[in-house]
Every structure is written in C-alpha cells, then in structure tokens.
Amino acid sequence: MQKRKLGNSNLDVSAIGLGCMGMSFSFGPPADKNEMIALMRAAVERGVTFFDTAEVYGPLVNEELVGEALAPYRGKVAIATKFGFKLDPKGGTQWIGLDSRPEHIKEVAEASLKRLKVEVIDLFYQHRVDPDVPIEDVAGAVRDLIKEGKVKHFGLSEAGAATIRRAHAVQPVAAVQSEYSLWTRDPEAEILPTLEELGIGFVAYSPLGRGFLTGTVDENTQFAPSDFRSFLPRFTPEARKANKALVELLKQVAQRKKATPAQIALAWLLAQKPWIVPIPGTTKLHRLDEDIAAIEVELTADDCRELETSAAEIAVHGARFPEHLQKLVER
C-alpha cells in the first residue's frame, strides 16, 4: 500500500483509507459486529492505516466498533473522528442540532478517547461548521486539546474557503474532508486551490458516490427504509436513471484499463493531487479488495482529461442532500 502525507502535516496515511460509517449507520440495518471487526482487521493486514468514524455515527456505536477492532494496532493506524453535532439526550438515533462550543468540543474529545480506546485522537474534525460559534473559538479549543496531548491534528469537514483560512490562522488545519468524486466536483473551484496554497490535505468522502459510481445501483434498486439514500434528491429513481450516463463513462474507461468502474473512480481521485486521500466505505471484503486495487490502476493525463471532459458534459441530476442538510455544507 502506498502512503500519502496530508498536506504539510506529519500525518502519513495509506493512499486509500476506510470510511466506517456504513458499518453501523445510514446504509440500512447495522452490519454484524464481528464481521465488521474482521473486515477492519483485514484492511490493516492489506496496508490500510487510515480509518474514519464520528461521534454521530450510530450515534456513538461506530466509534466503539472502530475502537474495539483497531485495539491491537495502536500506534500503527490513524483514526479520524469528528465533533460538532448535538445528540438527542434521550438516546435517539438522530442529532438535534449543531454544537461546537469549546466546552462541548472538549467533552466530546474525552468521550471519544474512551470509545476509541486510545490516549490521543489522530485527527479531530469539526463535522459541520456551527454558525453560532466563531471558527476561531473552535480552532482554539482544538489547539488546547493538542497542547494537552489529547489530539494530534485538527480537521474541518465541508467548510468553505474563508472558514478554512480563519481556522488555519489560529490552529494549523491538517486536513479538510468533503464529498468529492466525478459526480461531486464542487471542491475544485475554491477548496482545492485554497488547500494547496495553505498546505492542507484533502480527504474525499463518498468517493464512489454512495455506491452509485460502482455501477451496482440503478433506477430499479430498492433501498431499505433505514438507508438514507432513499431521502436524497440524487437518489430518486428518476435521478438515478438520468445519472447512469456517468456510470457508462466509467465503464468505458474501465473496460479499456481492465478495471472496474469503482477502481476508475478512485484512480481518478488519486491522480488529482498527491495530497488527496479517498476513504471509500464498505461492509464486504471483496469490495475492500476491489477498492484497494485501485492504487494499481494507472490513468494517463489523456485518460484523466477524457474523464473530466466527458463528465463535465453530463448534467448530474439531484442535489447532494435535502434542503435542510444542504444548508450545513461549505459555510
């Protein structure tokens, strides 16, 4: 497995990480705990050293799962987790608002350390920008945690360029995590140039379009009631039918490269910048192997131009999120 450095930080991680959210949250019923522990350990054996979770996934149970699975590999892997949501005090499965007050950030850090069974959090992201708390206060709270030895690196998720600059001026940001793929290219306009200028790494979540870019989802796919894709505008049957053109493009290139559409989608991301790390998620060992093998797919400059030019001519149907969630991104 190749390694990549996230920006100017000293955080070296595997070129492809593993997003763990779907193991216990969002994509239907939670997967079998023991199977997911085995899957994460298999990932480590294959060279994956970067794992992504969050307090809100579950909530809480995904951090516990990751903590148990990776306990034998302390010091050999990097675990990223996130703060910034207000959880239902009655124990519900839904968050009830944002909360990035410094005192709350520190409470979350203490709880996450225990669930993850670690002494220090490798990468601590603000999950979504909180308009009620100045980003300077957020960065200052994480700076305090870094000084106390409880956090190594500060990250932001779905933050806008101006917010990134303000946070970075208080506490250097190691990585920004946002959705990025051939069907979500929003970061290219302002975010990626800003990160390159400041020396910040980029972590691409949903690099396979929540499964759509693998070619295994079409307009006839039926989602479980607990699968949040059933609520996303981009995943209505009509949108899925219209968006198949993008999958066909990936299939064309994949056939030529003797690869799969998923591998082409990941290889394209890896070819964009040496400081971009995609974190595809899966609950299946054969998909994990497929994703990791994307590192071996070499796309030429002509291949990338073909993908980018052709993709730009395909109008992607449907917003990423429902309106109330779309308001939370790129503040």
Q: Is 57 a catalytic residue?
A: yes
Pairwise CA distance, residues 257 & 93, whole Å: 43
Could you write out the three-class secondary structure of the chain?
A: CCEEECCCCCCEEECCCEECHHHCCCECCCCCHHHHHHHHHHHHHCCCCEEECCCCCCCCHHHHHHHHHHHHHCCCCEEEEEECEEECCCCCCCEEEECCCHHHHHHHHHHHHHHHCCCCEEEEEECCCCCCCCHHHHHHHHHHHHHCCCEEEEEEECCCHHHHHHHHHHCCEEEEEEECECCECHHHCCHHHHHHHHCCEEEEECCCHHHHHHCCCCCCCCCCCCEHHHHCHHHCHHHHHHHHHHHHHHHHHHHHHCCCHHHHHHHHHHHHCCCEEECCECCCHHHHHHHHHHHHCCCCHHHHHHHHHHHHCCCCCCCCCCHHHHCCCCC
CB 100, CB 126: distance < 8 Å: yes
Catalytic-role residue among 57, 125, 180, 205: 57
Indicate which residues carry an active-site annotation: 57
